[in-house]
Structures are given as C-alpha cells and as structure tokens.
Amino acid sequence: MATVTLDGTPIHTVGQLPAVGTKAPDFSLTRGDLSDATLADFDGQYKVLNIVPSLDTPVCANSARQFNERAGGLADTVVLTISADLPFAQQRFCETKGIDGAVTLSMMRDRQFGHDYGILQADGPMAGINARAVVVLDQNNEVVHTELVGEIGDEPDYDAALAALN
C-alpha cells in the first residue's frame, strides 16, 4: 500500500507500482470504440502509461496534452492515457481540447488495472479510481520508469518519464 495526498489529506492505494526491471502486468481496458485493448496490442513499442483519475480536471487534461505533444511523435512510442472516464467522455475531451491521435483507455468495465498496477485509491473521496501515476515500458513490456505522483493535484515529472524512453 502506498500513500498519496489530495489537498494534503492522505489517501491510500491498494498496492505499489510495478518495480522497475519487472515485466508489466497485462491489462484489458476499453477503447473509444468499446473494443478491448490489452498490453499485447502495443507490443514492439515503447509505452507511456499516463494514468489519471479523470480527464475532466485541468491537471489531467494538461498531462494528456503534454505527453501527447512531447512523446506522441517519437518513433515506436505510444502514449496511453488511462482513466475511469467513459470512452465517450474521453473522445469528447480529445475533440474539445484539440488533442489529435491520443490513445485513451477506460477502466469502465473493470478496476483490475488499478489493482494490478497498485494505484487504485482505496479510501478518500475518489476511492475506486486511480491515483495519478506514470509507468514507462520498453518494447518488451519491461518497466523502465515509474512515478506515483505524491499529491494527486500535481503534474507528473514529464522530463523524467521521457528520459526513460532513451
């Protein structure tokens, strides 16, 4: 169990992020067209898992924009923005914010991703959705960088995450 804060109030997660050097847990999340997406769908690419509570907040929106602008054009790299939002809301968000080519994935059918990655909030006002985190995977799905953002309202360290892609 890890602890983050929301406006300074401690919030516990259900576990810990996967350790650097380990194989990332597989997942099944929902795409905008309501089909399933698994980790294997992105094999052979570097992956930035931009994990946010909801795209319907300014910080989450900015992290989606930042990662897509800064890493979305890198060769063999995909940015996956993962939230509890419905796929329809994720698509509407991308259209409204002008974020082209974003890959958004929803936990709408299952919260197992949050359990497997250790970032599901176990208590507090947002219990049941993910804390803010970044997990970077190499082309073989090995974890090369993780960050559980200490204060849910803060942005992740974009530079550290992007440096892990090199």
Q: What is the pLDDT of residue 34?
A: 95
- Say which CATH number the domain at 121 has: 3.40.30.10
State residue 142's pLDDT score. Answer: 97
Which stretch of 8-12, 14-18, 74-78, 130-134 has the lowest confidence by average pLDDT?
Answer: 74-78
User: Would you say residue 145 has pLDDT above 90?
Assistant: yes
What domain range includes position 86? 3-163
Is 94 known to be catalytic? no
| pLDDT tens-digit readout, 13-68 | 999 999 999 999 999 999 999 999 999 999 999 999 999 999 888 888 888 889 98
Helix ranges (H only) for 53-154 are 58-71, 87-97, 112-116
61 compared with 125, residue with greater pLDDT? 125
8 A C-beta contact, residue 2 and residue 151:
no
3-state secondary structure at position 149: coil
Taking 90 as the threshold, does the pLDDT of residue 149 lie above it?
yes
The count of structural domains within the chain is: 1
What pLDDT was estimated at residue 7? 93
- Residues 11, 60, 99, 134: which is the catalytic one? 60
Q: Determine the average pLDDT of the residues in 122-127.
A: 94
CA distances 105 to 1, 10, 49, 52, 82, Å, are: 24, 27, 10, 11, 5
Instruction: Please report the pLDDT score of residue 97 as a whole number.
Output: 79
What pLDDT digit, counting tens, does each position of 57-114 carry?
888 888 888 998 888 788 899 999 999 999 999 988 888 877 877 899 999 998 899 9
